[in-house]
Amino acid sequence: MKAKVAIIDYGIGNVQSVYNAVTWLGYNAIVTNLESEFAKANALILPGVGSFETAMESIKNDGLDQRLEEQVLHQKKPILGICLGMQLFASRSEEGGDITGLDWIKGEVVKLKKVKDLYVPNVGWNETSFVKNSVLATRLSDAPTFYYDHSYHFECGEDDIAATCSYGSQIVAAVRKDNIFGVQFHPEKSQSTGLKLLRGFFNHVNEQ
Amino acid sequence: MKRLIATLIIKDGLVVQSVGFKKYLPIGKPEIAVEFLNNWGIDEIIILDINATINERLINLEMVRRASKKCFVPLTIGGGISSIEHAKELLQAGADKICLNHSARNNPNLITELATKYGNQFVVVSVDIMKEEEEYKLYDYITQNFSDLDLFNYIKEVVGKGAGELFINTVNRDGMYQGYDTVLAQKVCDLVDLPVIFSGGAGNADHIVELLSSTSVSAGSASNYFNFYEHSVTVAKAALVQNGVQIRNETFADYNEHHLDGNTRLLKKSDKELEGMRFIIIEREII
């Protein structure tokens, strides 16, 4: 059974890019913020291009965060957070001050340290290492490269880390806690490698 | 890892070849160029509509929508962006980043507005530079003349306002196929603490190798080169790999083991190698 994917529309995110990638892979996708559509979907995607503060404001607006919590924390629907979307799962972020996140995965979002020869934002392609047996990496080679574009990164507990990449030091590139998946990079913008990661995620969704 | 970026210059809805920011020859539809570049393994694509601001309108959203459908690498869109509303419309049409040129000079606070709402990595500021005698000056493509602003102060100002990346275009080298102005490239890199995308003058893959291996630019961009060189992306990446430049190399097919001639054009394989290839099965890439 093919996955039905709901791409969460909260006014901040490159939704069209995510939609293009998901439909190219052959799944039914809808960009929405309606509870009824979330309920019909097999999987949710939370994209994000923006700032943490504006994003949390948008999500709290109109109770969207509660609708999402119902689907993710209670219904245990698989969700994939992309870039800022993943960061919103954190407890708090220092972007914009000290902003509270959704607190679904314990951790903090902090600014990338400026290191010699490396720029902030981290823009460009980086080799990424996944933990063993990561569902996201089932279709990938050993040292896949993804596109990153961020100034802040997620620091969380080791148990929740699904992948890391090197930027000055090792930073969290992907997280997973039960049905909650998150990636710091942009799989919808990482060509074949990104599409294969999405395939791995949707294959997992289809198996549920 | 460095990036190889293709910049598509759009005039009246078509991709054009640009020479010296003055002469433009039509090439073809943007969505076709995007599809091919994406399939060949380009790292990023920038689309700039050079008539948008002059005609007081935003770049065509329908065109962006069509182009973004088959684009699975970051797509930066520029052309007539003068408000936050424009950025929202572009995101909804498939843009991943936006590029400001005239607006950055005319209304620098827009940079801050956009960076605050969408993050500074969303905002690329395009700076056109022309060399006059021994001096580098800021060029205004709208008036087709030098700007009154001091070049290096202007660059520092846009960085201070919140730009995430700089896109530098070298007017003198545009369409000349003589190679990049690597001296200017390094000057800009030394001035700022931001990723710099540098463009202007690529004639063959060696020029790209020179830019990415001898300067601190984060990315090399080319326009005409990608449209007029056979297997341009694959050849450029092969030349970069063969010269030890860290570049993404994940396309199904690559020319990394191939030989390139003095002009970095692909050389025919020996008859023995070709004979051996007759019976190799090449699996289709499944995604």
Mutation test of the interface with chain B: which of A15, A192, A193, A202, choosing the one with the most B Cβ atoms within 10 A? Answer: A192
Kindly name the residue from B43, B49, B128, B174 that is annotated as catalytic. B128
Kindly name the residue from A95, A150, A165, A186 that is annotated as catalytic. A186
In whole angstroms, what separates CA B118 from the centre of its chain?
22
Res B258: pLDDT: 80
Q: Is the pTM of this model over 0.90?
A: yes
- Residues B26-49: tens digit of each pLDDT: 999 999 999 999 988 999 999 999
Res B115: pLDDT: 92
Return mean pLDDT, chain B. Answer: 92
- From A146, which residue of chain B is nearest by alpha-carbon distance? B248
Kindly name the residue from A83, A95, A156, A204 that is annotated as catalytic. A83
Res B229: pLDDT: 72
With both helix axes pointing from N to C terminus, report the angle between B84-93 and B61-68 in degrees, rounded to the nearest 10: 40
| pLDDT tens track, chain A, 208 positions | 577 999 999 888 888 999 999 999 999 999 999 999 999 999 999 998 888 998 999 999 889 999 999 999 999 999 999 999 999 999 999 988 899 999 999 999 999 988 888 888 899 999 999 999 999 999 998 889 999 999 999 999 999 999 999 998 999 999 999 999 999 999 999 999 999 999 999 999 998 8
**B270 has a pLDDT exceeding 90:** no
- Please list every residue in chain B whose beta carbon sits closer than 8 Å to the beta carbon of residue A33: none
Verify whether residue A83 is a known catalytic residue. Answer: yes
- Residues B169-180: tens digit of each pLDDT: 999 998 888 999
- Please list every residue in chain B whose beta carbon sits closer than 8 Å to the beta carbon of residue A150: 119, 121
- Please list every residue in chain A whose beta carbon sits closer than 8 Å to the beta carbon of residue B4: none
Cβ distance of A14 and B118 shorter than 8 Å: no
Res A181: pLDDT: 98
Res B82: pLDDT: 96
Rounded to the nearest angstrom, the minimum Cα separation between B285 and chain A is: 9
Cβ distance of A50 and B68 shorter than 8 Å: no
Mutation test of the interface with chain B: which of A56, A86, A149, choosing the one with the most B Cβ atoms within 10 A? Answer: A149
- Residues B115-163: tens digit of each pLDDT: 988 888 999 999 999 999 999 999 999 999 999 999 999 999 999 999 9
Question: Could you tell me what percent of chain B has a pLDDT over 70?
Answer: 100
Cβ distance of A123 and B218 shorter than 8 Å: yes
Preceding peptide of B26 cis, ω within 30°: no
Q: Is the ipTM of this complex over 0.85?
A: yes
